[in-house]
């Protein structure tokens, strides 16, 4: 349904016929950590997240998983594997 409270005219999954069903009946504004995210919507009363009604809750335990401005560092790490010195010396002796 379309939001009729803060983000007027935007499709919101929390909007029902009785109004906003989220805690408190309205969305919360974005926090400082959200600055630069592409999922922000700027309206007259402030900036709000299009993906989640309470952005502060997403940042309490680390980075928001929906943030577009935060890069996930897991894929870029070089894996360093610990080598057994005995096996390494045997491989070297065998010419591998």
For 50, what's the count of Cα atoms within 13 Å in the CB-facing half-sphere?
Answer: 12
40 phi/psi in degrees, rounded to 5 = -90, 145
**Residue 29, pLDDT above cutoff 50:** yes
**Residue 19, pLDDT above cutoff 80:** no
16 phi/psi in degrees, rounded to 5 = -125, 180
- Give pLDDT, residue 79: 60
Tell me how long the chain is. 96
Q: How far apart are CA 22 and CA 16, in angstroms?
A: 10
Q: Where are the domains of the chain?
A: 1-69
What are the pLDDT digits (tens) for 76-96?
A: 455 677 888 899 899 899 887
- Give pLDDT, residue 76: 46
**Residue 69, pLDDT above cutoff 70:** yes
């Amino acid at each position: 349904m379309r939001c009729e409270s803060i983000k007027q005219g935007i499709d919101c999954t929390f909007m029902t016929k009785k109004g906003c069903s989220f805690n408190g009946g309205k969305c919360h504004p974005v926090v400082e950590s959200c600055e630069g995210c592409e999922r922000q919507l700027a309206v007259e009363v402030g900036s709000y997240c299009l993906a989640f009604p309470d952005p502060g809750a997403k940042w309490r335990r680390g980075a928001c998983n929906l943030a577009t401005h935060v890069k996930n560092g897991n894929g870029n790490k070089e894996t360093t594997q610990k080598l057994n010195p005995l096996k390494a010396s045997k491989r070297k002796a065998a010419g591998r």
